[in-house]
C-alpha cells in the first residue's frame, strides 16, 4: 500500500510540476517540462511492478481518458472561439476522440500538459506572452 501511495504521489507531482513549468516563458525553465513528461512515463512503466498490473492499468487508462477528453474539450472550445476559414478549414480538421484516446494510451502526459498550456494561453494571453503585448502597444 505504501508503494502505491508513493508511486502515484510522484506521478501527480510530476504532472503538477510539468504544468507549472510549462506556464513559464523562459526556455531554461520550460525545459523542465520534458523531464516531467519523461518521469511520468517512467513511473507508468515502473508502476505495474510496484502496485500490480490491474491497478496500474486502471490508473493509466483513467489518466489517458481524462487527458484525451481535456484535449478534445480544449480543441472544440478554440474552434468555437476561432473558427477556421477558407483553406484552413479543409487543411485542419478536428481530431476525433478516438484518435486522441489512442494517442492518450501511450502519451497521456503530453496531451494533458499541452491542453493545460494551450488553455492557459487562451484564457490569459497577456500573462502567457507579455512581450507580445509590448510589441503590439509600440506599433
The predicted model scores a pTM of 0.81
Burial class (CB in 10 A: 0-12, 13-18, 19+), 45: exposed
Angle between helices 53-81 and 32-51 (to 10 degrees): 150
pLDDT at 88: 61
pLDDT in tens, 96-123: 888 888 988 999 999 999 999 999 988 8
pLDDT at 130: 60
pLDDT at 40: 96
pLDDT at 137: 44
Average the pLDDT over 12-31 and give the result: 92
Residue with cell 506521478: 11
Please choose, from the candidates 5, 108, 106, 107, the residue with its C-alpha nearest in 3D space to the C-alpha of residue 50. Answer: 5
Dihedral sign (CA 90, 66, 105, 14): positive
Please provide residue 52's backbone torsions phi and psi, each rounded to the nearest 5 degrees: 100, 150
pLDDT in tens, 36-79: 999 999 999 999 999 999 999 999 999 999 999 999 999 989 88
pLDDT at 127: 66
3 state SS of 92: coil
pLDDT at 131: 64
pLDDT at 128: 60
Amino acid at each position: 500500500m505504501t508503494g502505491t501511495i508513493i508511486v502515484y504521489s510522484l506521478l501527480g507531482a510530476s504532472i503538477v510540476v510539468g504544468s507549472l513549468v510549462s506556464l513559464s516563458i523562459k526556455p531554461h525553465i520550460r525545459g523542465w517540462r520534458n523531464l516531467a513528461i519523461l518521469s511520468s512515463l517512467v513511473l507508468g512503466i515502473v508502476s505495474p511492478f510496484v502496485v500490480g498490473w490491474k491497478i496500474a492499468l486502471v490508473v493509466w487508462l483513467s489518466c489517458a481518458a481524462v487527458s484525451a477528453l481535456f484535449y478534445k474539450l480544449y480543441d472544440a472550445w478554440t474552434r468555437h472561439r476561432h473558427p477556421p476559414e477558407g483553406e484552413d478549414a479543409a487543411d485542419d480538421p478536428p481530431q476525433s476522440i478516438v484518435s486522441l484516446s489512442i494517442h492518450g494510451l501511450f502519451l497521456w502526459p503530453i496531451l494533458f500538459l499541452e491542453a493545460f498550456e494551450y488553455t492557459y494561453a487562451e484564457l490569459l494571453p497577456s500573462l502567457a506572452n507579455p512581450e507580445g503585448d509590448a510589441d503590439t502597444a509600440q506599433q
